[in-house]
Protein backbone atom coordinates (compact mmCIF):
# COMPACT_ATOMS: atom_id res chain seq x y z
CA UNK A 1 0.00 0.00 0.00
CA UNK A 2 1.48 3.35 -0.97
CA UNK A 3 0.33 6.67 0.41
CA UNK A 4 1.48 10.25 0.41
CA UNK A 5 3.10 11.90 3.38
CA UNK A 6 -0.01 14.02 3.87
CA UNK A 7 -2.24 10.94 3.87
CA UNK A 8 0.02 9.18 6.37
CA UNK A 9 -0.06 12.20 8.68
CA UNK A 10 -3.82 12.47 8.47
CA UNK A 11 -4.27 8.75 9.16
CA UNK A 12 -2.52 9.31 12.50
CA UNK A 13 -4.67 12.41 13.05
CA UNK A 14 -1.67 14.71 13.43
CA UNK A 15 -1.82 18.33 12.35
CA UNK A 16 1.08 19.92 10.53
CA UNK A 17 1.81 21.83 13.74
CA UNK A 18 2.00 18.60 15.75
CA UNK A 19 4.33 16.99 13.20
CA UNK A 20 6.57 20.04 13.19
CA UNK A 21 6.69 20.00 16.98
CA UNK A 22 7.58 16.31 17.06
CA UNK A 23 10.37 16.95 14.53
CA UNK A 24 11.62 20.06 16.33
CA UNK A 25 11.09 22.32 13.30
CA UNK A 26 8.81 25.24 12.42
CA UNK A 27 5.37 24.48 11.00
CA UNK A 28 6.23 26.38 7.80
CA UNK A 29 9.31 24.18 7.36
CA UNK A 30 7.24 21.02 7.79
CA UNK A 31 4.68 22.34 5.30
CA UNK A 32 7.48 22.77 2.74
CA UNK A 33 8.67 19.21 3.36
CA UNK A 34 5.18 17.84 2.82
CA UNK A 35 4.72 19.82 -0.39
CA UNK A 36 8.18 18.94 -1.73
CA UNK A 37 9.18 15.55 -0.33
CA UNK A 38 11.95 15.22 -2.92
CA UNK A 39 13.86 17.97 -1.11
CA UNK A 40 13.70 16.21 2.26
CA UNK A 41 16.83 14.87 3.93
CA UNK A 42 17.05 11.17 4.67
CA UNK A 43 17.25 12.00 8.39
CA UNK A 44 13.95 13.91 8.25
CA UNK A 45 12.32 11.15 6.22
CA UNK A 46 13.43 8.55 8.78
CA UNK A 47 12.19 10.69 11.68
CA UNK A 48 8.82 11.23 10.01
CA UNK A 49 8.42 7.53 9.31
CA UNK A 50 9.26 6.70 12.92
CA UNK A 51 6.69 9.22 14.21
CA UNK A 52 4.03 7.94 11.82
CA UNK A 53 5.01 4.28 12.33
CA UNK A 54 5.21 3.60 8.61
CA UNK A 55 7.98 2.47 6.29
CA UNK A 56 9.85 4.86 4.02
CA UNK A 57 8.98 2.67 1.07
CA UNK A 58 5.26 3.14 1.64
CA UNK A 59 5.46 6.93 1.76
CA UNK A 60 8.35 7.76 -0.52
CA UNK A 61 9.14 4.99 -2.98
CA UNK A 62 6.06 3.02 -4.06
CA UNK A 63 4.39 3.67 -7.41
CA UNK A 64 1.86 6.20 -6.09
CA UNK A 65 3.92 7.57 -3.22
CA UNK A 66 4.91 11.15 -2.42
CA UNK A 67 8.05 11.24 -4.55
CA UNK A 68 6.43 9.78 -7.63
CA UNK A 69 3.81 12.55 -7.51
CA UNK A 70 6.42 15.34 -7.58
Asked if 66 and 60 count as a contact pair (C-beta separation under 8 A), the reply is yes
Q: Does the domain formed by 5-69 have CATH 1.10.260.40? A: yes
**Cα(25)–Cα(2) distance, rounded to whole angstroms?**
26
Does pLDDT of 6 surpass 80? yes
Within its chain, how far is the Cα of 24 from the centroid? 14
Q: What is the pTM of this model?
A: 0.78
pLDDT, tens only, 13-36: 999 999 999 999 999 999 999 888
Count of all residues that appear for the chain in the document: 70
- Residue ranges of the domains in the chain? 5-69
Does pLDDT of 65 surpass 70? no
Task: State the pLDDT at residue 66.
Answer: 54
**Cα(30)–Cα(25) distance, rounded to whole angstroms?**
7
Amino acid sequence: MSITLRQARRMKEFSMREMASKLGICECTYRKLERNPGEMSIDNAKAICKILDISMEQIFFDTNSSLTRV
